[in-house]
Amino acid sequence: MRWKKVNKLIIGTRGSALALKQAYQVRNLLQSVHSHLRVEIKTIQSLGDDQQETPLPEIGAKGLFTAEIESELLSQKIDLAVHSLKDLPSTLPNGLKYVGSPKREDARDVFISHKWRSLSDVPAKSIIATGSARRKAQFLEARSDLEFRNLRGNIETRLNKLKTEGWDGIIMAAAALHRLNMSDQITRYMDPLQFVPAVGQGAIGLELKLGREEVEKLVASIIDPETTQCCQAERLFLARLEGGCSTAIGCWGRIENRRFIITGYAASSSGSKVIRKYLKGMPADSTQLAQQLSEEFEHAGAKSLLAE
């Protein structure tokens, strides 16, 4: 089959500094391989961006940060959607697919504080802010004596609120701060075996409309196979347990010493009931291992735990 040569590509993305940084990273990667390619970046406002003061569980919709972008992808107003992969639901609308990711950034969460050097230093009744049910549950598991506040908004807004509200700390993704050259804001990196990352955290997700083979061929040149394999396994785990951004669920896949390791996490919102397991095997068996791990979580009562 002869492929139609694509000379121009329109990337759709949210308009935050982080989203734009990721979109320009994808553009630069594409143009480094395809020197003839002109790439336009189109910013699209999402429902999640419109309701930044509302806690995510209260909004309750799937695709809070992706649905409007996906609509333009389906209507071919854009050719490629660039997301933070952790924002992309594990089950996509008909006609769309996750095609992969460039090389993953750091998947870990970080603790940021202007008062304390580590979680163990934080006094009882201190106030920690996060918009994530998973992060809140994991912190409460370690420190049930802490108090929490909701935290939404872009990276700059969150860091500013830490100062203006006088909170004792906030929790964020390491990758976001790395990409925005704000690593100096990080107080402590959290152990990913204890503070299991969100599915896809640290990875950029590339989404296409089915049937756009000529675009997919272009995009294939910038996809990192290891990152994509690990993220696909994580997304399978999430889909099987029917988890989302409003539940305390995490999964982290990686390849170490030629072995694929996948760690799963599920908890009640209070962090008082927790399931944390991992499996290890050959990289070629990553899909089966993710499926096996999700079955073990189901048998351990993860779905009822997440519903609490």
- Domain boundaries of the chain, sorted by first residue: 8-104+202-223, 109-189, 241-307
Residue 233: what residue type? A
Q: Which of 37, 31, 39 is nearest to 10 (CA)?
A: 39
Domains 8-104+202-223 and 109-189 fall in the same CATH topology:
yes
Q: How confident is the model at residue 205 (pLDDT cuts 50, 70, 90)?
A: very high
Give, in words, the CATH class of 109-189: alpha beta
Residue 246 has pLDDT above 90, yes or no: no
The answer for residues whose C-beta is within 8 angstroms of residue 190's C-beta and 6 or more apart is: 108, 109, 110, 111, 171
For residue 290, what are its two tokens?
Answer: 């993710």
CATH dotted code for 241-307: 3.30.160.40
Q: Which residues are catalytic?
A: 87
Query: What pLDDT is stored for residue 163 in this prediction?
Result: 94
Query: What pLDDT is stored for residue 52 in this prediction?
Result: 52
d(CA 207, CA 200): 14
Query: What pLDDT is stored for residue 58 in this prediction?
Result: 47
What is the CATH architecture assignment of 8-104+202-223? 3-Layer(aba) Sandwich (3.40)
Distances (CA, A) of 252 to 32, 158, 205, 281: 30, 25, 16, 14
Query: What pLDDT is stored for residue 207 in this prediction?
Result: 98
Query: What pLDDT is stored for residue 94 in this prediction?
Result: 96
Query: What pLDDT is stored for residue 1 in this prediction?
Result: 40
Summarize pLDDT for 91-142 with one digit per residue, the tens. Answer: 999 999 999 999 999 999 999 999 999 989 999 999 999 999 999 999 999 9
Query: What pLDDT is stored for residue 5 in this prediction?
Result: 74
d(CA 128, CA 143): 11
Are the C-beta atoms of residues 262 and 235 closer than 8 Å to each other? no
Query: What pLDDT is stored for residue 50 in this prediction?
Result: 47
Q: What is the pTM of this model?
A: 0.92
| Mean pLDDT value of segment 259-281 | 96
Q: Which of 26-40, 54-68, 98-112, 210-224 has the lowest mean pLDDT?
A: 54-68
